[in-house]
Structure 1
Amino acid sequence: MKQAVPFGERLSLVSSSPIFQALDSSILSEIARRAVCRTHPPGEFLYRKGEEADSVLLVINGLVRLSLASPEGREFSVRLATRGDSLGETALANAISRDTDCLALTHSRVLKIRRNMLSKADIGAISSDLNRLLGQRLSSLLAIVEEIALHNLEGRLARLFCRLDQQQYLSLHQLHQGLLANMANASRPKVNQQLKKLHNLGAIKLASGQVISINRALLTKLFTIKGEKVSRHNETGR
């Protein structure tokens, strides 16, 4: 669904994106003018894996999830994105198709910037920043794979909460237990069990089954961020 967004807000979003910061103000203004705003209700896909990669999306507001899914229905969350984040950046690196599914978890609005809005010179100007961002995406994905391979569920949840805490614009209460289980690569019952344990330890606070706050200092004390197990409680729950 298309929805109007004031030009000033469009320009601010485009100008503040790490992808486009090397472009001249006149080019940024043209991109902001031509970009299309789309609104997605919760549960609607912004795009699906395998679809044509013809644009990059900038999140205006809301919460979206990038994930991979198996034919049997198992899912793996790659990352969450919210205001100011970009989606589908590989489209600007000449990717042919989308490599993940992208789903709106809440009512979300995005700014769609088609690849053909940028000239070859523009693509060349942003290539360094684009490669840097894609490198960061790869590093983040490898960190997730490392956690799944090397750490048990309690430790994975602790590290997940610490990462989310760094993203101050992302509210923990938006993450229901099903999504937390998906992000931690575990079943919901096991996640529920570990959340209760972390709550009893004082590392997180639960209310009506939702995580409403975390004690980052205690989480860091119980589980070192770099993976060394230091808690006598962390031998269960894989």
Structure 2
Amino acid sequence: MVGYPSRDARLHFLQSLSPFAALGADRLASAMPYIREMTLARGEAAFRQGDMLAAVFVVRSGALALSLTSEDGKEVIIRQVAAGGMLGENDVILGLPAPYEGIALAPTTLMRIAAPVFEAWLDEPAFTKPLLHAMSAQVREVLDFAETVSLYTLETRLARLFLKLCDQTGRAVEDGILIDRPLSQSTIGRMINASRPKINLQMRRWHCLEVIRVRGSRITVLDPDALTVLSRPMR
């Protein structure tokens, strides 16, 4: 669903983020008629693999998974974009179809910036420098993902994922760190390229060892130090 929330709300949100803050209030304000808000239910797609994107997206709340699906239906989540993150900028700049699909991992709100507006901002050095920094960080994240799924054991991959999620969405509770979003074992499997039965077995082991606690689709990390040790690949 695409809508038009308060102009001031959209403006203030973008002003709080790099690289948009570098544009200044007046430049952003003039673009507000071309920036819409889009709401997605969990599992709903912002766009599909192969779509030509007419906009760049910024996650305002929730989270989006960027996933690839093979011809035989196998799906791998290559990157997650949480609140404040941007996606689609590479595809708009290159003028190529999206190589992945963007699926909401939870109820999610996106800011949809029309491509011509975004492309006009590329002429502003104050905008492009932090944009290049953000895009370089995305490349590094994808390379880290490729390294992890190609070279490391499931135990190491899963430990790294839980530590990353603790950093992104973790909330301190009495006995550990709650990953503050629902996670099914199927979703976890797509995030580290592993089968659900293997994920289930490893999580049961850690649950018995009190490394994590699993209640439904909620995971609490009880021993982050143990996961840190496990996240380091054996040499």
TM-score, normalised by the number of residues in structure 1 = 0.86
Q: Judging changes above 3 Å, is the alpha-carbon distance between structure 1 residues 33 and 214 closer, same or farther for their aligned structure 2 residues?
A: farther
The total of aligned residue pairs comes to 226
1:232 counterpart residue number: none
In structure 1, the residue matched to 2:175 is none
After superposition, the C-alpha distances for 1:197-237 in whole angstroms (9 at most, x for unaligned) are 1222222111236423342122113433xx346xxxxxxxx
> Where does residue 220 of structure 1 map in the other structure?
228
Instruction: Tell me what 2:49 maps to.
Output: 49
Higher strand proportion, which one?
A: 2
Report the AA paired with residue 159 of structure 1.
R
1:83-102 to 2 correspondence within 5 Å?
A: 83-102=83-102
- Aligned CA distance change for structure 1 residues 222 and 71 (closer, same or farther; 3 Å): closer
How many angstroms apart in 2 are the aligned matches of 1:144 and 1:40? 26
Q: Is 1:202–2:210 an aligned residue pair?
A: yes
Summarize the alignment of residues 40-119 of structure 1 with structure 2, pairs less than 5 Å apart: 40-118=40-118
Cα displacement (A) at 1:92: 4.7
Match of residue 21 from structure 1: 21
Asked if the contact 2:170–2:180 (Cα under 8 Å) also holds between the matched residues in 1, the reply is no
Matching residue of 1:127: 128
Q: Is the 8 A contact 1:19 1:129 kept in 2?
A: yes
Aligned residue for 1:167, secondary structure, equals helix
In the alignment, structure 1 residue 11 sits paired with structure 2 residue 19? no
Following the alignment from structure 1 to structure 2, what is the Cα–Cα distance between the partners of residues 202 and 26? 53
Give the Cα–Cα distance (whole angstroms) in 1 for the partners of residues 86 and 119 of structure 2.
20
Runs of 4+ displaced beyond 4 Å: none
Alpha-carbon distance, 1:172 to partner: 4.4
- Whether 1:183 and 2:191 are equivalent positions in the alignment is yes
Q: Could you give the per-residue CA deviations for residues 67-106 of structure 1, whole angstroms, max 9, x where no partner exists? A: 1110110011011222222121214523332121001222
CA distance 1:81–1:132, shift in 2 (3 Å): same
Partner of 2:200: 192
Helix, strand or coil at the partner of 1:102: strand
Matches of 2:87 and 2:118, distance apart in 1: 17
In structure 1, what is the Cα distance between the partners aligned to 2:105 and 2:226?
29
CA distance in 1, matches of 2:104, 2:43: 5
Deviation, structure 1 residue 36: 0.9
Cα RMSD over matched residues?
2.1
Could you tell me which runs of 5 or more consecutive residues in structure 1 were left unpaired when the two chains were aligned: 230-238
Letter of the 1:201 partner, please give it. L
For the pair 1:165 / 2:166, whether they are aligned, the reply is yes
Tell me: CA distance 1:214–1:80, structure 2 relative to 1, closer, same or farther (3 Å): farther
Q: TM-score, normalised by structure 2?
A: 0.87
Query: Partner amino acid for 2:223?
Result: N
Identity in percent: 27
Equivalent pair of 1:66/1:100 in contact (CA under 8 Å): yes
How many Å separate the matches in 2 of 1:173 and 1:155?
21
